A and B are shown apart, each in its own frame.
Chain A
Amino acid sequence: MTTVTRRQTFSIAGGVLATVASSATAQAAPIKIGCGMALTGGLAAGGKAALVAYQIWADEVNAKGGLLGRKIELVSYDDQSNPSTVPGIYSKLLDIDKVDVVVSGYATVPTAAAMPLVIQRGKLFLSLFALAINEQFKYDRYFQMQPTGPDSKVEFSRGFFELAGKLTPRPTTVAVVGADAEFSQIALEGARENAKKANMKVVYDRTYPPNNQDFGSIVRAIKATNPDLLYIASYPPDSAGMVRAMHEVGFGARMVGGGMIGLQFAAFKTQLGPMLNNLLAYDLYVPEPTMNFPGVQAFLVKYRERAAAAGVDPLGIYIPPFAYAEMQVLEQAVNAVKSLDDKKLAEYIHANKFSTIVGDIKFGANGEWEESRVLLVQYRGVAGNDIEQFKQPGKQVIVHPPKFQSGELAVPFEPIKK
């Protein structure tokens, strides 16, 4: 008969306990990351693409064993691009779903709607493309992924006016036009300030209502003022309307474009094709040699594999890399402080630099990027409507800022119809 000594008994018990503990770790509750996201409505094109990027990150982290040994679980609800739904969504995320971390939905208005509740609960809040909202809230646990820098309003159009100031002969008149909506209003305010600094006369300064279809009349009125420059701050359908109307009316100027949303998406690039040549547009990432950050190409390959099934932008160079980088910031901070404590995470994010697929990020005191990195790109040599050309360098040349510049500014912008 085999006898089991007291020492052996403790040893077996210890082994069993270790096995149970290890199994418990493997099955530890997942880290829940919650957000409201625009999956329907006007912001859905950006929201759905961002969610695809979050999921790619979560799948990668889970494949590596999770974060702090826990799997990642994304919990998201459709905010319908409607800010009135947002407070309810974040209450549910925090009180019922008991998420560990909350991040914002896509764009300024839904993010602003979530802020009061997030501040009340003292949560860390990483936001995605919310323009200058912390100027009002001044919340020290807020961090914004859009690289507009500490003074977003002015930075947005700074490159456009800096380049204009270097032209010979120097331009003296500018027309500014944009939509009657939050982003455009802020961008136009900045453009007016920059025009004033550059000592340029604003000869046309108008906004148009959302759902406007008559861009021809706007362009004719601008043409009548004969400006040297035209700065446009538009939303997607308007951007297409303005570009088409300029070519139909036969409007040209030395520099045209600036803050046009929509041109960053594949559908607009391919549809407008050669009409884009010499047009200037703000952007955040383009496939130029000066922006070849580690990991970005591999991410884009994964994103493009999933884009068709998700019904989102097939190019994915605008929002998705920044959404993925947002999660990289969170991942690096959690790994460094080894905790999900909101205060510790916020302190760490404030104090450190992060290496991401969109480059190194250092946040400033107000949670915006310490240095602006808004790109001013110029479309060049666009021929036909093939999407592949926009995946290659040389079609969206970076003309500002100098650190990422990949080509010189070409002037003027001329309509196809003379």
Chain B
Amino acid sequence: MIFSLDLFCNAVVAGILLGGFYCAVAVGITIAFGMLDIVNIAHPAFVMAGGFIAYFCNTKFGVDPVLACAIATVPAYIVGRLVYRFYYHAFEKRGEESLQGLAFFFGLLFIIEVGLLLTFGVDYRFVEAAYIGPTIDVGFISIPWRLLVPLLVGLAVTGGIIAFLSRTFIGKAILAVSQDPLALRLVGGNPVKVKEIAFGLSIATAILSGALLIVIQPIEPSMGRDFIGRVFAIAVLGGMTSLPGTIMASMILGVAESLTTTFFGPSWSPAVAFGLLLVTLAAKPAGIMGR
């Protein structure tokens, strides 16, 4: 093992950059899975859909991939609300959300995947943007723009959602529904409508994180499944309902993976990251910032 300050600092920075991307993907899972108790395993498929929206807008119209998906969050939010409405009437209302609901999201995952496949084909797709390629050098630390942009966008989105949840009436209602839907109903709130809004928000973030993924690497329709384990692990590690916890968990996982990759070999990085998850949950079962 070769150790140097240069390697260590670069590994920490690379981990933080990676963590920013993980955070962008996991924030939607934290909302859906942690706050709303909806096991949306189709979330990575929505991420891929976002990636292909970015690809389409970038190659056809020359629009920046992140900007394209930022605009697409509006229709994505509406689609998310419709998906929840269907899920509620078909499963949740009848108390059949556990197994049938899971099957529903499995089905949705495959439908989105096949839809992308039929529309865009099976080839790997890339995008072009001014920030893909160049790096910033700060002393001996080099920061690729294609990883810095996802970090900044990921933190901005998560920060924005934290502010929305803590400062607006609807946001507080979402936090309330995650804690006690009955209590929310008793004070005149409609938990179904609140959950619908929150789920729309979750899907909108998935679409935006798709743009970040295609900025980092080429994508093909079925690769979203690779992220399921990691993003659910981040949501659990962070404390399920806590978005600051999601940021922390993403950074911890990113830095742990990057340090392991640099000093012990990349094949150990998932084992170390998930080992960290097990140790944390053993010491604090509710997660880092769970209550």
Q: At the interface, yes or no: A381 with Cβ under 8 Å from chain B?
A: no
Name the B residues within 8 Å of A211 (CB-CB): 223, 226-227, 230
The reply to whether A218 and B123 form a contact with Cβ atoms under 8 Å apart is no
- Return B255 CB to nearest CB of chain A, in Å: 10
- Complex Cα–Cα for A415 and B73 (A): 37
Name the B residues within 8 Å of A47 (CB-CB): 122
- Return B230 CB to nearest CB of chain A, in Å: 8
Name the A residues within 8 Å of B146 (CB-CB): 244
Query: Which residues of chain A in 186-222 are interfacial with respect to chain B, using CB atoms and an 8 Å cutoff?
Result: 206-214, 216-218, 220-221
The reply to whether B125 and A221 form a contact with Cβ atoms under 8 Å apart is no
- Complex Cα–Cα for A312 and B122 (A): 6
- Return A190 CB to nearest CB of chain B, in Å: 19
Of B120, B126, B230, B263, the residue contacting A311 (CB under 8 A) is B120
- Return A262 CB to nearest CB of chain B, in Å: 7
The reply to whether A44 and B217 form a contact with Cβ atoms under 8 Å apart is no
Q: At the interface, yes or no: A241 with Cβ under 8 Å from chain B?
A: yes
Most A CB contacts (10 A, CB to CB) among B114, B133, B230, B263 go to B133
Q: At the interface, yes or no: A240 with Cβ under 8 Å from chain B?
A: yes
Query: Which residues of chain B in 111-165 are interfacial with respect to chain A, using CB atoms and an 8 Å cutoff?
Result: 113-114, 117, 120-126, 128, 133, 135, 142, 144, 146-147
- Return A251 CB to nearest CB of chain B, in Å: 11
- Complex Cα–Cα for A236 and B147 (A): 19
Q: At the interface, yes or no: B21 with Cβ under 8 Å from chain A?
A: yes
A417, closest chain B residue (CB): B135
- Complex Cα–Cα for A417 and B21 (A): 24
Interface-lining segment among A83-91, A132-140, A263-271, A392-400: A263-271
Q: At the interface, yes or no: A288 with Cβ under 8 Å from chain B?
A: no
- Complex Cα–Cα for A310 and B117 (A): 11
The reply to whether A180 and B267 form a contact with Cβ atoms under 8 Å apart is yes
The reply to whether B261 and A40 form a contact with Cβ atoms under 8 Å apart is no
Q: Known: A208-B266, A247-B133, A311-B120. Contact between A221 and B261, CB under 8 A?
A: yes
Query: Which residues of chain B in 16-65 are interfacial with respect to chain A, using CB atoms and an 8 Å cutoff?
Result: 18, 21
Name the interface size band of chain A: 35 or more
Of A213, A218, A224, the residue contacting B2 (CB under 8 A) is A224
For the complex, count residues of B whose C-beta is within 8 A of A.
Answer: 48
Name the A residues within 8 Å of B126 (CB-CB): 240, 267, 271
Q: Known: A42-B222, A221-B7. Contact between A214 and B121, CB under 8 A?
A: no
Most B CB contacts (10 A, CB to CB) among A39, A245, A417 go to A417
- Complex Cα–Cα for A41 and B110 (A): 11
Q: At the interface, yes or no: B243 with Cβ under 8 Å from chain A?
A: no
Q: At the interface, yes or no: A249 with Cβ under 8 Å from chain B?
A: yes
Q: At the interface, yes or no: A74 with Cβ under 8 Å from chain B?
A: no
Mask for A241-255, Cβ within 8 A of B = 1, else 0?
100110111100000
- Return B22 CB to nearest CB of chain A, in Å: 9
Mask for B234-266, Cβ within 8 A of A = 1, else 0?
000000000000000000001001100111011
- Complex Cα–Cα for A310 and B122 (A): 9
The reply to whether A271 and B2 form a contact with Cβ atoms under 8 Å apart is no
- Complex Cα–Cα for A209 and B273 (A): 12
Query: Which residues of chain A in 296-328 are interfacial with respect to chain B, using CB atoms and an 8 Å cutoff?
Result: 310-313
Of A48, A210, A225, the residue contacting B122 (CB under 8 A) is A48
The reply to whether B222 and A214 form a contact with Cβ atoms under 8 Å apart is no
The reply to whether B10 and A220 form a contact with Cβ atoms under 8 Å apart is yes
Name the B residues within 8 Å of A45 (CB-CB): 122-124, 220
Query: Which residues of chain B in 79-121 are interfacial with respect to chain A, using CB atoms and an 8 Å cutoff?
Result: 113-114, 117, 120-121
- Complex Cα–Cα for A265 and B219 (A): 14
- Complex Cα–Cα for A245 and B147 (A): 11
Name the B residues within 8 Å of A216 (CB-CB): 10, 14, 142, 144, 147
- Return A298 CB to nearest CB of chain B, in Å: 24
- Complex Cα–Cα for A48 and B261 (A): 35
Q: At the interface, yes or no: B168 with Cβ under 8 Å from chain A?
A: no
Query: Which residues of chain B in 202-233 are interfacial with respect to chain A, using CB atoms and an 8 Å cutoff?
Result: 216-223, 226-227, 230
- Complex Cα–Cα for A214 and B266 (A): 9
Name the B residues within 8 Å of A207 (CB-CB): 265-267
- Return A387 CB to nearest CB of chain B, in Å: 12
- Complex Cα–Cα for A248 and B54 (A): 23
Of B217, B222, B230, B267, the residue contacting A41 (CB under 8 A) is B222
- Complex Cα–Cα for A389 and B14 (A): 35
B10, closest chain A residue (CB): A220
The reply to whether B258 and A40 form a contact with Cβ atoms under 8 Å apart is no
Mask for A222-248, Cβ within 8 A of B = 1, else 0?
001100000000001100110011011
Of A208, A213, A220, the residue contacting B11 (CB under 8 A) is A220
Q: At the interface, yes or no: B189 with Cβ under 8 Å from chain A?
A: no
Name the A residues within 8 Å of B226 (CB-CB): 210-211
Of B135, B221, B227, the residue contacting A248 (CB under 8 A) is B135
The reply to whether B120 and A40 form a contact with Cβ atoms under 8 Å apart is no
- Complex Cα–Cα for A218 and B18 (A): 13
- Complex Cα–Cα for A225 and B122 (A): 38
Q: At the interface, yes or no: B269 with Cβ under 8 Å from chain A?
A: yes
The reply to whether B257 and A214 form a contact with Cβ atoms under 8 Å apart is yes
The reply to whether A249 and B142 form a contact with Cβ atoms under 8 Å apart is yes
Most B CB contacts (10 A, CB to CB) among A211, A216, A267, A311 go to A216
- Complex Cα–Cα for A237 and B227 (A): 14
Of B4, B222, B266, the residue contacting A217 (CB under 8 A) is B266
Q: At the interface, yes or no: A81 with Cβ under 8 Å from chain B?
A: yes
B227, closest chain A residue (CB): A211
The reply to whether A221 and B113 form a contact with Cβ atoms under 8 Å apart is no
Name the A residues within 8 Å of B113 (CB-CB): 40
- Complex Cα–Cα for A241 and B262 (A): 16
Name the B residues within 8 Å of A248 (CB-CB): 133, 135, 142, 144
Of B121, B221, B230, B269, the residue contacting A312 (CB under 8 A) is B121
- What would be 7 A-B contacts, judged by CB atoms less than 8 Å apart? A40-B122, A40-B221, A213-B21, A217-B14, A220-B7, A310-B121, A312-B121
List 19 extra interface pairs beyond A206-B267, A209-B269, CB under 8 A: A39-B122, A40-B117, A40-B122, A44-B222, A45-B220, A47-B122, A180-B267, A211-B230, A217-B262, A220-B7, A237-B124, A240-B218, A244-B133, A248-B144, A267-B218, A271-B126, A310-B121, A312-B122, A417-B135
- On A, residues with C-beta under 8 Å from B are 39-42, 44-45, 47-48, 81, 180, 206-214, 216-218, 220-221, 224-225, 236-237, 240-241, 244-245, 247-250, 262, 265, 267-268, 271, 310-313, 385, 417
Smallest CB-CB A-B distances: 3 pairs: A311-B121, A208-B266, A44-B122
